[in-house]
Structure 1
Amino acid sequence: MYAIPFPVIDPVAVDLGPLVIRWYALAYIAGLVIGWRYAMRLGDRPDTPVRREHPDMFLVWATIGIIAGGRLGYVLFYAPEYYFAHPGEIVAVWQGGMSFHGGLLGVVAAGLLFCRVKKIPAFAFGDILSTVAPIGLFFGRIANFVNGELWGRPTDAPWGMIFPRADDQPRHPSQLYEAFLEGLLLFAVVNLLVWRFGAYRRPGLVMGVFVAGYGAARFIVEFFRQWDEGVEPLFGWLSRGQQLSIPMIAIGLYFVVRALRRPQQPA
């Protein structure tokens, strides 16, 4: 059976003895920095009450929310028994193991608190964050691929890939599927709404499209992604990722309907 060998990529980008920088960390940094700079540019638009200094101030809040929420989400959603038995490894984020759903909840909590402190409309600020969020998703999935983790199910497709940390079976490179759907495609959709259709004039619309769009993309990719070890699928086929994505789709659609039913705000 033909299979593409996994590219030889050292997960360590820089090794200076006591200082080790991994591609995984650089991917998160790239997503945060690029998203931060783009959010500041979006703050210059006249159709949103968010100003460019707000994303600038929120960068630290977002970083804490993503890392803390993503790690705790992975611990609680996917491997609570293991980490409760080895609590010292909970903080070992450099070994991999981050949950997007947990990271999203972390950013939501940080964003709501930030909006309350700075007196910013929460839905308008959520629209800004949702416009740039696919950037971080793209880099995060590329980091999963470089780490050789979260691989797909066995396949006979000609682009099947053998992952060194899995087995000798060709598998779907599901990390790249997610990078395309959750990153590139979702970025194109939400930015088209912003730049072509003035979606910021309906607060919550972009946020709803992003939340529902991510949930739908993740639900689809889970059919190609290997089930998480130790997590039994519901009804024998519904993975944990799909279970967590269903509420996201429902909540996102609610935000979309809510935004469309309200009068469009003037620029």
Structure 2
Amino acid sequence: MFNDIKIGPVTFHMYGLMIAIGFAAALMMCLKRGKKRGLNEDIIYGIFFCAIFGGMIGCRLLYYIVEIPEILKDPSILWNFKNGYVVYGGIIGGALASLIYCRVKKERFLPYFDLVMPAVSFAQGFGRLGCFFAGCCYGRETDSWFSITFTHSDFAPNGVKLLPTQLMSSAGDFLICGLLLLYAGRKPKEGQVAAGYMVLYGIGRFIIEFFRNDYRGSIGVLSTSQIISIGVVAAGVVFYLVMNFRNCKGVTP
């Protein structure tokens, strides 16, 4: 598995390249769909950059929270930025930063929240492809034909057949994006596309965790990500029902 592409004197790292492609594709998707919905293009750009900034902070903060016991043993973890990013923290941080931005700009958040979440899933699909090239977020050992063997990974065990959980996650993220776009086309009530993302992603992440074998922290028999997934799915269901009630009552969120 290759992690770098060299074109003359320039080296492209596949992980970073996939992340960049995902961000760019997500932005273009939001701009195109936002224009059809009459949403403010400047606000979309603002949300995009705030989401990146908030997401980066959220990824790191949630990692610190999850790894408090290990950090107490080895404080050097705090400034080891090669590892230590939790996707859920990025999603939460990005959403909060976008909400604050919309409040500052006096724009309603929910229309943009619904607009952005399918694109977030699309970007995540590319991000997981980046994980595949890097070898992080790897799966359990297997004898199945459905496997990948890394040879030069700094993260996954090399020379061992592993379940390609990165590709499984990527396919799931692209599928979620497609389902959300189809659902959005039916013009659901405000907030319900975003709620759909929370439910679908939470369920998918809960399931994929059973097949992963990289260290992610645990609480009992469940990984920390599975515990968070349960909360996200529950929050998504509640959010969907609340938005349904508020829209039926004619309340403007």
TM over 0.5: yes
Q: Which residue of 2 aligns with 1:4?
A: none
**Equivalent residue number for residue 134 of structure 2:** 147
The Cα of 1:131 is off from its aligned counterpart by: 2.1
The C-alpha deviation readout for 1:188-237, integer Å capped at 9, x for no partner, is 11000112x112xx1110010001110000001111111516x2x333x2
Question: Residue in 1 aligned with 2:162?
Answer: 171
Instruction: Output the CA distance in 1 between the equivalents of 2:94 and 2:206.
Output: 21
Give the drift of 1:157: 1.9
**Partner amino acid for 2:5?**
A
Q: Could you tell me which residue of structure 2 aligns to residue 26 of structure 1?
A: 17
Q: Of 222, 227, 230, which aligns to 1:246?
A: 230
Aligned to 2:146: 159
Would the aligned equivalents of 1:40 and 1:55 in 2 still touch at CA under 8 Å?
yes
In 2: Cα distance, 1:84 partner to 1:125 partner: 39
**How far is the alpha carbon of 1:171 from its aligned partner?**
1.7
**Aligned residue pairs: how many?**
243
**Contact 2:199 2:233 survives alignment (8 Å):** yes
Match in the other structure for 2:42: 53
1:121 alignment partner, one of 92, 104, 108: 108
Aligned with 2:244 (options 235, 257, 260): 260
SS of 2:222's partner is coil
Alpha-carbon RMSD: 2.4
Please give the secondary structure, in 1, of the residue aligned with 2:102: helix
- Alignment match, 1:207: 194
Amino acid at match of 1:143: G
Contact between 1:40 and 1:53, CA under 8 Å: does it hold in 2?
no
In the alignment, structure 2 segments of 5+ residues that lack a partner are none
The residue type equivalent to 1:184 in the other structure is F
Residue 12 of structure 1: how far off its partner (Å): 3.0
- The answer on whether the counterparts of 1:42 and 1:128 sit within 8 Å (CA) in structure 2 is yes
Change (3 A) 1:136 1:96: farther
* Distance change >3 Å, CA 66–CA 112, structure 1 → 2: same
Partner SS state of residue 43, structure 1: helix
Amino acid corresponding to residue 248 of structure 2 in structure 1: P
Instruction: For 2:115 and 2:70, locate their aligned partners in 1 and report how far apart those are by CA, in whole Å.
Output: 37
TM-score, normalising length: structure 1? 0.82
Q: Which of 219, 240, 244 pairs up with 1:234? A: 219
